[in-house]
Structure 1
Amino acid sequence: MTSIASSDAGPLTVEPLSERNVSRIPLVLPHERVFPIQIGSELFKLSGASLSSDAPSYFSQYFVCQLEVAKDRGDESNSSIRTLYIDRDPAVFRDISLHLQGYHVQPRDGEHFVRLFSDAQFYSLPRLISQLYEESIFISIGHREFQIPREIFKDPGNSPNYFSLGFAAFFSRPDDLFPGLDREGLIRPPSILPPSVPKRSAETFAELLHFLRGYPIRIRDEMHRQDLLSDARYFHFKGLEQRLIPHSLSYNQATRRDEIVLRLENIQKSGISVYISNHSPLSGFVQYARPYVDEKPAELIIEIGGETTKIHFSGGNSRAEFFRDTKARVAKLLELVSSKLNFPQTNQSHSQLASLGNSLLKEDLVRVALEPESAIILDGKDYLEDFINAAASESSGGEYPRKRRRVDGDSGDEEWVIKTGQWRLRIQEAPNGKGVECILVAAKLDAMSSQLPRNMSRGFLGS
């Protein structure tokens, strides 16, 4: 053994080159013989050991045939071995020859990578192909080149993605890198351009990589968030997308439950679950855990905006009507909630809730509850005072205020357009005692009782 002095880690022991070490290289070609290869205008002479180190290959097969022909002729001298001529770039082969001699060759950029990979495929060098497949991904995005370590994509939430499905699939077929082309008699492989995505933003992608490396996400404004989300979806980073969507996580001391607020359009089927109370088997609430991100579910509060909700107050009942895409989304959500329920002794309960989503698409309305804890802004004013006055009037036997009376039982009808609302989804026993129902409990509402506040908020064009 040979010792080399080292001031930091003590002496390093290196095993000297010996016949035992050399024998680890398969004996495809005689290790001690030198074989000539002409690449373009440059002549390379490589030992049999070097050529055997990454075999079987185009080189090893060629020279094995040469040796067999020479042996049949009874001439095994070096002059009997013909030079292999290949019209390729000698600069690229210079790096390949270093690889064959045992050096680690690392691509410098995207162009160098595809040239190495293309020639490694053309020469059928399995070990170099495998090594290049494990190297960083080189890709140009928005005319800026990125070198992306593959371990960034090992998170199951972000894989498979654009790169593993596209880039890696293309550069991982040693048997068919050039589909449709016959390798037999192929003079040279077709030219390959470095992978590029010219129509995406380099700055946005750099931020996505920054987040994928584990740094905290900081959103400057809503436009910035939409840019990040758009590219996260384009590159199929599902886990990162869930971290980027608007959400709020908090702990509610009153209910002693974690809560998550999400927009209706961002809810994923796989994140929905239902909590059923141990004390009342026909009551519970809907929970949600962001796929790939949250380890445990929290009580779900859905946010619905865009003025796509209208509450009808009639006969002491309040029901919500939904419009446009929101109607179909709420229907699908209620169907999904029903599928998550498991009442072994109340099949009728399950079937009743299961039909709720379908009935919503048939113009039926969803029952809603406005509670004293519901934060309501009506026509731009705080609605909390009406609830307080209502409670005071009820205790004194006086008449209810107008708005509160309509909500709680007056025959007069009223409608509110909800600009934005946040709702809990409560599972409870149906009023008729037959089965269960899912109702929306208002957490916070921004509502209008007429067109006046909407018109007052309008602005003139160009002003």
Structure 2
Amino acid sequence: MNEQEESNKKQKTSNESTEFLNFDYEFPLDAANVIPPENSSIPEDLFTFVTDINDIAPEPPLEIVTRINSQRQQQQRQRQQQQNKPIVPPNQGVYTIIVGGKPFRLSWESLKSDGPSNFFIEYFKKKKTRVMQIDRDPDIFELIVRHLRGYYIRSTDDIQNQSLLYDATYFGLNRLKKLLQEYSYLNVGGRVFRLPWTLFQKDGTHNFFTGPLMHSLLSPHTEEGNSPPIYIDRDPDIFADIVNHLRGYTIHIRDEMHRKNLLKDAQYYVLRQLSDKLLTAQQTVAGFGEGSNAEVLLLLQDVRIVNMLPPKVTNLSIPNMLISQDWSLTQIQYKRVKDGTPHTLLVQVSDLCMQIHKSAATVKLMYEMNHADIKKMNSMANMAKATRGVNMEIYIDKYCAITIDDNQVKSIEYCMENDLIDTNWEACTKCDLEDCQMSRLILQRAICGVHLVDNMITLCALRLEAISSRFRLNLKREFLSG
């Protein structure tokens, strides 16, 4: 090799070293270009950019870090909710519900018509299926399907209505429940009545229908299962009359037996206003000309003790049968249920044994009552605070209408003086007077005022019908036909 070639070779090597030290690389690099020569050195300021991280990126404030973490957590919760959120089907999607083996196909719009939530909506939202199987009555569910499709449905009897109410509760169909609870289906003596619940409130808010019966029918599910339809073992014809009365019609009372049966069922159903009307055989105006006072006439056993009011005066005493003082001041008042207005109380008694006691000084009438009537009279005495109990002497008003043996008479004394009645006198063993004699009458019925006299409950007859002897009694007996 000549000197010129060797000089060129050294110059080339020097240039390559200088290029390496000046990092004048061409891209792409290869392994030969990346590996430095053995005698090369790295400049001191090569890594001056590698410094403390705090000098390059200072730590952000705590408020910013907290806000960023809160945003990240919220975004994470939203993503999780979106993953768990049920898929709401389209309104016209068809779903199959198999009830008791019978398939029913309904749209999503029909299923949610009785909503916003019910058994079907919650099921299909959670389950990724369009088929459901339920072990219920398909005939009852067919009516429910009509309801969900927007049609009006009506039960045919009390059993079907109760079954519909069961399933409406089971499926959570609140609109159907409200519809079914507007009417009651009552089986009274084998006859089914469909009546609105509001009808029974016309006789007050507390009665047989608006109390335990309503609760039992409208809450059919019990611990033992579903309660059966209500059967009321009463006369359906009498109940029909009561329903007509509640509807505003006047009841035609055919006879006394019909009135008693109506009263008995009205009391059974706790219809107080109707009972009060039936207890009132008649209302009259007391007094003649000046002033007046409403009266109420009740059978003795029909008097409600809680409706009695004390008299105006309690210390009046009456010496004999004829009344000379202000008799009205001692009369018991009676408060009617409907309006609460005080009425003068009159009672009707019947089938009593009445004794006539006469002496040189006085004439008086005594009566004997059965156990039930005496018990009622004692209760009335307690209510009126009659400390001496019941007066067994009956007084006769001076205007009393008296009928004896079907004949109208002026007074008992007049009959005795003119021998107008058949009397068998005998010595009295009950009175202290030695000259007292006693005879008996059969008091068929009498209308009496109820008074408080000498701290005793006392009856004053306003009208009475009596029979004077057994002979007269036998004359009134009737033969059998045929």
| Interval containing the TM-score (normalised by the shorter chain) | 0.5 to 0.7
| Equivalences for residues 339-354 of structure 1 within 5 A | 353-354=386-387
Q: CA deviation at 1:294?
A: 4.7
Q: Deviations over 1:172-195 (max 9, x none)?
A: 22xx614224xxxxxxxx6x7654
2:398 — aligned with what? 372
| Counterparts of 2:198 and 2:137, CA distance in 1 | 32
Return the structure number with greater relative CO, CA threshold 8 A, min gap 6.
1
2:303 — aligned with what? 267
1:221 — aligned with what? 255
Is 1:121 the counterpart of 2:169 in the alignment? yes
| Counterparts of 1:355 and 1:56, CA distance in 2 | 70
Q: Deviations over 1:247-306 (max 9, x none)?
A: 110112326222222110111123211341699999431122333x35412211111102
Is 1:60 the counterpart of 2:88 in the alignment? no
Q: CA deviation at 1:82?
A: 4.9
CA 1:311 to 1:304, structure 2 compared with 1: closer, same or farther past 3 Å? farther
Read off the aligned partner of 1:210 and give its amino acid letter: N
Which segment is superposed worse, 234-243 or 256-265? Answer: 234-243
Read off the aligned partner of 1:256 and give its amino acid letter: S
| Counterparts of 2:395 and 2:104, CA distance in 1 | 85
The equivalent position to 1:333 in structure 2, one of 372, 375, 380, is 380
Q: Kindly name which structure, 1 or 2, has the bigger radius of gyration based on alpha carbons.
A: 2
Q: Is the 8 A contact 1:29 1:60 kept in 2?
A: no
1:179 — aligned with what? 223
| Counterparts of 1:278 and 1:236, CA distance in 2 | 34
The equivalent position to 1:443 in structure 2, one of 445, 462, 476, is 462
The equivalent position to 1:303 in structure 2, one of 332, 337, 348, is 348
Read off the aligned partner of 2:384 and give its amino acid letter: V
Q: Deviations over 1:61-108 (max 9, x none)?
A: 423432xxxxxxxxxxxxx32521113344433432344455554434
Read off the aligned partner of 2:240 and give its amino acid letter: A
Read off the aligned partner of 1:425 and give its amino acid letter: V
Is 1:32 the counterpart of 2:90 in the alignment? yes
Identity %: 22
CA 1:385 to 1:328, structure 2 compared with 1: closer, same or farther past 3 Å? closer
2:436 — aligned with what? 412
Is 1:88 the counterpart of 2:112 in the alignment? no
Q: Is the 8 A contact 2:279 2:297 kept in 1?
A: no
2:199 — aligned with what? 152
2:237 — aligned with what? 203
| Counterparts of 2:115 and 2:287, CA distance in 1 | 65
| Counterparts of 2:342 and 2:268, CA distance in 1 | 27
Q: CA deviation at 1:337?
A: 1.9
1:3 — aligned with what? none
1:132 — aligned with what? 180
| Counterparts of 2:119 and 2:463, CA distance in 1 | 71
| Counterparts of 2:89 and 2:314, CA distance in 1 | 76
Q: CA deviation at 1:210?
A: 1.1
| Counterparts of 1:410 and 1:369, CA distance in 2 | 23
CA 1:320 to 1:294, structure 2 compared with 1: closer, same or farther past 3 Å? farther
Q: Deviations over 1:224-243 (max 9, x none)?
A: 32343343344443322332
CA 1:326 to 1:403, structure 2 compared with 1: closer, same or farther past 3 Å? farther
2:477 — aligned with what? 458
Structure 1: 5+ residue stretches without partners: 1-26, 67-79, 182-189, 339-352, 391-399, 431-435
Secondary structure of 2:187's aligned partner: strand
Read off the aligned partner of 2:277 and give its amino acid letter: R
CA 1:416 to 1:329, structure 2 compared with 1: closer, same or farther past 3 Å? farther
| Counterparts of 1:303 and 1:196, CA distance in 2 | 36
| Counterparts of 2:298 and 2:231, CA distance in 1 | 35
Which segment is superposed worse, 104-113 or 415-424? Answer: 104-113
Q: Is the 8 A contact 1:158 1:240 kept in 2?
A: no
TM-score, normalised via structure 2 length = 0.65
1:382 — aligned with what? 408
Secondary structure of 1:59's aligned partner: helix
The equivalent position to 1:251 in structure 2, one of 271, 285, 291, is 285
Read off the aligned partner of 2:452 and give its amino acid letter: I
| Counterparts of 2:339 and 2:306, CA distance in 1 | 12
Count of aligned pairs between the two proteins: 370
The equivalent position to 2:362 in structure 1, one of 313, 316, 320, is 316
| Counterparts of 1:401 and 1:226, CA distance in 2 | 40
Q: Is the 8 A contact 1:110 1:139 kept in 2?
A: yes
2:334 — aligned with what? 288
| Counterparts of 2:191 and 2:394, CA distance in 1 | 52
| Counterparts of 1:304 and 1:376, CA distance in 2 | 15
| Counterparts of 2:257 and 2:263, CA distance in 1 | 10
1:107 — aligned with what? 155
Q: CA deviation at 1:29?
A: 7.8
| Counterparts of 1:87 and 1:389, CA distance in 2 | 85
| Counterparts of 1:239 and 1:412, CA distance in 2 | 49
CA 1:216 to 1:459, structure 2 compared with 1: closer, same or farther past 3 Å? closer
CA 1:308 to 1:169, structure 2 compared with 1: closer, same or farther past 3 Å? farther
1:5 — aligned with what? none
Q: CA deviation at 1:127?
A: 3.4
Read off the aligned partner of 1:51 and give its amino acid letter: K
1:164 — aligned with what? 210
| Counterparts of 1:105 and 1:264, CA distance in 2 | 50
Structure 2: 5+ residue stretches without partners: 1-84, 317-325, 426-432
1:97 — aligned with what? 145
